[in-house]
Amino acid sequence: MKRFNCRFLFIILIIIFSVSINFTQTKNTPPCSSLEAKQFDFWVGNWVIYWITQTGDTAYGSNNVQKILGGCVINENFSTKGAQPFNGKSYSVYNSTKKIWEQTWVDNTGAYMSFTGKFENGKMILSREVSGKNNTKILQRMVFYNITKTKFDWDWEYSKDNGKVWELNWRLHYVKHKNG
């Protein structure tokens, strides 16, 4: 009986010790410090953006992307100039509970879009589902790829067959501004 009590007490002490170490490590870990929460850091900076329009002209824009709220949120400020200026903002955060990235986009046309996704195989892919004509399901996604410290490409794609075939809507080329 004494032997059983000693073993039981020993097991309880090990459990308490393990839980207290885990709690201390969790308590001292800063929020948004995981490697996954840094996967979008390549996007932070001031960017010059260019793309080819449907008429074959080259169009330009800018994007200022910064970390806010203690480094937990990535804030995008996109703008174009011209006859019809286009301005938009997005907020991206890594959801450590769901193990996905979540992004909300809003712009001066009144658009609101919500995306989720992951960084895999050197690409950040964020997607959403929308209803098309006659309630057909359309998938839309953004793909960040060819990522280096000074440039990357961004595609907006859609699929009408549940992701079997993706078609390109437009492609943007990001080049880091010399001031950062």
pTM of the model: 0.81
Does position 142 have pLDDT exceeding 90, yes or no?
Answer: yes
**Is the pLDDT confidence value at 136 over 50?**
yes
69 with 43, same domain: the answer is: yes
My answer on whether 25 and 40 are in the same domain is no
Mean pLDDT of 165-170: 96
| Residues 85, 19 within the same domain | no
Question: Do 40 and 116 reside in the same domain of the chain?
Answer: yes
Pull the structure tokens for residue 63.
């994007």
pLDDT, tens digit, 9 for 90 and up, residues 17-68 = 554 444 444 567 778 999 999 999 999 999 999 999 889 999 999 999 999 9
Count of structural domains within the chain: 2
Same domain, 45 and 77: yes
The kind and range of the H/E element at 10 are: helix 2-28
- Decide: 157 and 145 in contact? Cβ < 8 Å: no
Write down the pLDDT at residue 27: 61
pLDDT in tens, 74-123: 999 999 987 789 999 999 999 999 999 999 999 999 999 999 999 999 99
Identify the CA nearest to 115 among candidates 157, 150, 77, 62: 157
Q: What is the pLDDT of residue 22?
A: 44
Residues with Cβ within 8 Å of residue 111, at least 6 apart in sequence: 88, 105
**22 and 78 housed in the same domain:** no
CATH number of domain containing 109: 2.40.128.20
130 & 161 share domain: yes
Domain that holds residue 78: 36-176
**Above 80 in pLDDT, residue 127?**
yes
**Same domain flag for 8 and 44:** no
